[in-house]
Structure 1
Amino acid sequence: MSISAIESVLQQMRATAVQAGFAPTSAAPRTAVESGGFAAELRRSLDNISGAQNRAYGQAEAFELGKPGVALNDVMVDLQKANVAFQTGLQVRNRLVAAYQEVMAMQA
């Protein structure tokens, strides 16, 4: 897997985060040095996934407790968004592991 493919996946994750409301839309693009590089970007993506799951589970709990203003359809949509974010993160992890294994298999 090439660096451009990994950057493409990260760019798709950023776009998804912006659409889901997890990232600021007015932020200017940052260079790798300013943002902390790949590891920092991966950490931010994992934090966004965790945050989406925490919000969805919190909203589901609020619905179960009968708190006013929490609709079932909103709970279900948020749970599905969290699931999609998790599945995306899982696929990125799988591709990173495959790329690592490919690099390690190369002969020096």
Structure 2
Amino acid sequence: MSPVNTQNLLMQMRALAAQAEQIKPDAVQQTEAPQGAEAFADLLKQGIEGVNAEQHKASELKQAFELGEPGVELSQVMLQAQKASLSFEAMTQVRNKLVEAYKEVMNMPI
């Protein structure tokens, strides 16, 4: 691998910036949502449904253990509760990052 030449990189960045300035905002029009947006929405929905399933499974195991059903051990209940908690926490972090990104985009000058 060759070392990065900063002068060449700087010239390329300036050339790209000049090209970007030439594009007029009204020339860029989208009539349909990009395919990636639909895939992202589906992925987000699947993630939320997965977290919901983990929460329900933990609740069902807890109730089965409380009722004394055979085959349900405390270790299973605790493990599933931790899985549900961890998945919910991860979903919360994703939500926070999305809200942060949305705010950042909304604060961008037009």
TM-score by length of 1: 0.67
Distance 1:52 1:38 in 2: 21
Distance 1:41 1:81 in 2: 20
Higher RCO (CA < 8 A, seq sep 6+): 1
**Structure 1 spans left out of the alignment, 5+ residues:** 1-31
Aligned residues: 76
User: Where has structure 1 moved over 3 Å in runs of 4 or more?
Assistant: none
How far 1:43 sits from its partner (Å)?
A: 0.1
Q: CA RMSD in A?
A: 1.7
**Structure with bigger gyration radius:** 2
Distance 1:71 1:91 in 2: 31
- For the pair 1:41 / 2:39, whether they are aligned, the reply is no
1:80 to 79, 82, 85: 82
TM-score by length of 2: 0.66
Any idea what SS the aligned residue of 1:90 has?
A: helix
How far 1:74 sits from its partner (Å)?
A: 0.6
Any idea what SS the aligned residue of 1:45 has?
A: helix
Q: Percent identity?
A: 43
